[in-house]
């Protein structure tokens, strides 16, 4: 997911100065050894808004209680000192603050997806020389948090490493068959373009290790005041055709492997604004087609939680 200045959807800057996760202080400066990671409950991960940084901003437990959302996507895992996964390229896994946050969410009946990558920073796929090394880095993240799902947000300079990423995911899927593997990709109004367009075919050629293909239908920068509902649906239908051609599955099967990772409020493009009504329209679309994932960037931007309340209605 694009790493941006975290703005409240109404346009005001949100200053993130610390965090409390379920009543537990989560300072990044904490030096106390992490607590044991709580086992995840069996809860739907279909609606899981991104939160960046992985600690700070809104208290996820308070968000759960006020919106009904049950899962969050914690961002981002980057490389530190070579092929070593870390929080934002600086905090060694698992991280005291991050463990406290995950435990607070799980103790209150929720769960997390962890996202690897993003728009900037040192990417694991670039830092890890071989697919096996990259798989080892992914496995460390899964093990550290007993994950049921891992999101690979493939952007910027990492798209060129797509085959290495897919080969690593194939290893992960073999060793962790129950872990859902999500690939999140940038998109144009007609589907995947550029280097991203070849990725479904690459996946098919090695046995399709990706479980969910999620798109980021925003930052189109086409000028004017675009209809973000229509553009999102168009991009999703474009992806649908591409996946169907590559994976040779039925419409129902393909939709069940698709996801939408939108953005709440104003995007990085002048005039481009994803409204709460757009989210309500998207909810109807994902419910109609039973998509695997409906989420957005980013929780701390959602000042009054109106966007979160919409996606919380989706159960998959």
155 an active-site residue? yes
Q: Which of 155, 196, 272, 298 is catalytic?
A: 155
Compute and round to an integer the Cα radius of gyration of the chain: 18
Q: How many other C-beta atoms can be found within 10 angstroms of the C-beta atom of residue 42? A: 6
Spatial contact of 68 and 175, defined as CB atoms under 8 Å apart: no
- Mapped onto helix, strand or coil, the DSSP state of residue 184 is strand
Spatial contact of 210 and 247, defined as CB atoms under 8 Å apart: no
Spell 91-125 as b/e; 16+ CB within 10 A means b.
bebbbbbbbbbbbbbbeeebbbbbbbbbbebebbb
What is the Cβ-side half-sphere exposure of residue 299, based on CA atoms within 13 angstroms? 29
* Residues classed as catalytic: 155
């Amino acid at each position: 997911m694009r790493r941006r200045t975290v703005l409240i959807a109404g346009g005001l800057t949100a200053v993130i100065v610390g965090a409390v996760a379920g009543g537990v202080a989560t300072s990044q400066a904490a030096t106390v050894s992490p607590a044991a990671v709580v086992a995840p409950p069996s809860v739907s991960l279909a609606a899981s808004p991104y939160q960046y940084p992985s600690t700070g901003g809104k208290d996820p437990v308070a968000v759960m209680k006020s919106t009904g959302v049950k899962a969050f996507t914690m961002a981002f895992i980057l490389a530190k000192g070579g092929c070593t996964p870390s929080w934002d390229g600086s905090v060694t896994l698992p991280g005291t603050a991050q463990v406290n946050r995950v435990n607070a969410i799980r103790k209150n009946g929720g769960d997390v997806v962890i996202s690897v990558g993003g728009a900037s920073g040192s990417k694991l796929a670039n830092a890890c020389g071989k697919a096996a090394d990259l798989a080892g880095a992914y496995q460390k993240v899964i093990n550290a948090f007993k994950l049921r799902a891992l999101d690979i947000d493939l952007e910027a300079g990492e798209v060129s490493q797509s085959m290495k990423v897919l080969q690593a995911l194939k290893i992960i899927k073999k060793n962790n068959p129950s872990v859902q593997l999500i690939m999140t990709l940038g998109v144009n109004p007609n589907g995947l373009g550029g280097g991203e367009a070849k990725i479904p075919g690459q996946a098919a050629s090695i046995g399709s290790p990706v479980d969910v293909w999620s798109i980021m239908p925003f930052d189109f920068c086409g000028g004017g005041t675009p209809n973000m509902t229509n553009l999102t649906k168009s991009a999703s239908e474009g992806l649908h055709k591409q996946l169907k051609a590559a994976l040779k599955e039925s419409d129902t099967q393909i939709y069940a492997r698709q996801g939408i990772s939108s953005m709440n409020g104003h995007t990085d493009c002048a005039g481009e604004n994803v409204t709460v009504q757009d989210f309500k329209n998207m909810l109807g679309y994902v419910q109609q087609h039973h998509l695997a994932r409906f989420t957005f960037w980013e929780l701390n931007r959602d000042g009054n939680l109106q966007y979160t309340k919409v996606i919380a209605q989706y159960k998959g």
